[in-house]
A and B are shown apart, each in its own frame.
Chain A
């Protein structure tokens, strides 16, 4: 009762105070997006200034019929889903482990958090050179140690390697959120379930997992936002290659814009990326809306 302070004065003050954020974000959303739409309808290359002309939907047909486009959509989804899968499953496992009594829990937690604090360019470069390099990497040394042929990760399994690197960066995030949620599970509930004769597995399925659903939703929401635009990790490792094997939608548009200077084509690609992201967002928001209301 009475949380909503409702006088005319406070309400108008509230409107005034929310205005800067709303206006800034509105401008941020509308101005560049409108420009992107405008550019996407032009033949416009930065290398040929002054040659802009209206091109209708040519840029879109060009982009949508490019085989690289489908590869990029697939790669983007593969990265999002692959990383989500690894981090959610791994995160639940790690959270359950860290929730147990142990010696030096604080230190283990510090170790586990660390990858989240590492900038993507550093993470990618370290993995690329010092671990996945087929000549000097640690993995190559380990392979030779057990008598196997070193594997050139980034050349032969570029997408998988990138998923691995990104998952390493995001695993701490998932773990910490799930651990926090786990710790808020009422101890008495667990004991009641124990008294009711529920074994460890059924306690996990009927008690722990439902309790974690909200946290899992948050993990999926926030990670998806960031994973849809994974960029630096690709830029410094594979550069989208070999061929287009590890090119995502983000990277494809980047290459079109800042490597080929094709503003029109890149803008069309950007709009397509926005539309696809909105489709994902639509489903995500519905899911989140339901869970967060509860």
Chain B
């Protein structure tokens, strides 16, 4: 049966969907526009949408005043570091659970996921004290460790669901062909799971980039990633809308661009491998 959708109906859907899409996106667009205004234009009433004197001075000012690049590098190191470390630990585990399951595998997975249910405040105090006493407070490596731990269950879960889709026979074939376990994982499983691993990588970089409990509480001036850098604009300085917008744009742009460029992996990853 052919599905005949009238052009008229398609037009109505298009207009509706675009309107909603733009409304949802509007706060980001508005931030982006405001970042190019002068402070006076930023709070002008009625607000100027496109017809104002575009300027990039806010960006330079944010960089010179709060050293954007330092925080940017902190974010990069912390989010990539924790995700890669997490993958390194999680790939073997996910292999084990997907291809050598036992009666307890499901329980172990559920338990791992349940560690995510533990509210971070439950362990805030000891973590803070441990970090303070071991000199990990306000260090990148400290943040990498914590973010690895909090995202590990998600990484394992996602990899597990992706690995489950790979037929066990192919790994058995590798075994028959003389591959050791390490070679089986490196030459056969990992390349086959590249799309899934990419989605996992991407989603966890995003989660780590945007993580705003541990990064706010365990970092100060030195290791603060962009989440904390932006939080400093909640003080009265925040009233400078144009500079706030410039700082915000710089904080979100890297991940926004990364997300858009790898939309396919992102969409796949967003479902945490749980929905097909």
Contact = CB atoms under 8 A, between A and B. Distances in A.
Contacts of B260: 110, 113
Interface string B261-276: 0010011001110111
Contacts of A105: 17
Contacts of B188: none
Chain B interface, >50% SS class: helix
A138 interface: yes
Contacts of B66: none
Nearest to A184: B276
Interface residues of B, number: 99
B84 interface: no
A232 B46 CA distance: 31
A113 B266 contact: yes
B275 A115 contact: no
B89 A20 contact: yes
A123 B238 CA distance: 13
Interface stretch (A28-36, A60-68, A198-206): A28-36
Interface residues of A, number: 109
B256 A232 contact: no
Interface string B110-139: 101011111111111111111000000000
Contacts of B55: none
B30 interface: yes
B30 A138 contact: yes
A63 to B, nearest CB: 12
Interface in B166-197: 168-169, 171-172, 175, 181
B241 interface: yes
A120 B227 contact: yes
Contact of A21 (B25, B89, B126, B175): B89
A228 B47 CA distance: 36
Contacts of A112: 20-21, 24-25
A118 interface: yes
Interface in B244-260: 244-245, 248, 251-252, 255-256, 259-260
A156 to B, nearest CB: 19
B213 A266 contact: no
Contacts of B259: 113-114, 116-117
A257 to B, nearest CB: 5
Contacts of B89: 20-21, 24
A208 interface: no
Nearest to B118: A274
Contact of B27 (A145, A168, A173, A176): A168
A210 interface: no
A289 interface: yes
Interface in A167-182: 168, 171-173, 176-177, 180-181
Contact of A18 (B11, B97, B119): B97
Interface in A90-147: 94, 97-98, 100-131, 136, 138, 141, 144-145
A38 B270 CA distance: 38
Interface in A263-292: 263, 266-267, 269-271, 273-274, 277-278, 280-281, 284-285, 289, 292
B10 A103 contact: yes
B128 A258 contact: yes
Given A24-B89, A129-B239, A258 B217 contact: yes
Given A118-B28, A120-B212, 19 more contacts: A4-B99, A21-B112, A24-B152, A29-B118, A36-B122, A36-B123, A102-B13, A102-B17, A111-B22, A112-B20, A119-B252, A122-B251, A126-B30, A129-B244, A172-B24, A218-B275, A235-B216, A267-B126, A274-B122
4 interchain residue pairs of minimum CB distance: A17-B92, A232-B212, A35-B126, A32-B123
30 contacts: A2-B172, A11-B100, A20-B92, A25-B112, A28-B115, A32-B126, A35-B123, A36-B126, A39-B125, A100-B10, A100-B17, A108-B17, A111-B24, A112-B20, A112-B25, A113-B260, A116-B206, A122-B248, A128-B234, A138-B47, A177-B275, A181-B275, A229-B121, A229-B213, A235-B234, A250-B121, A258-B217, A263-B125, A267-B125, A270-B119
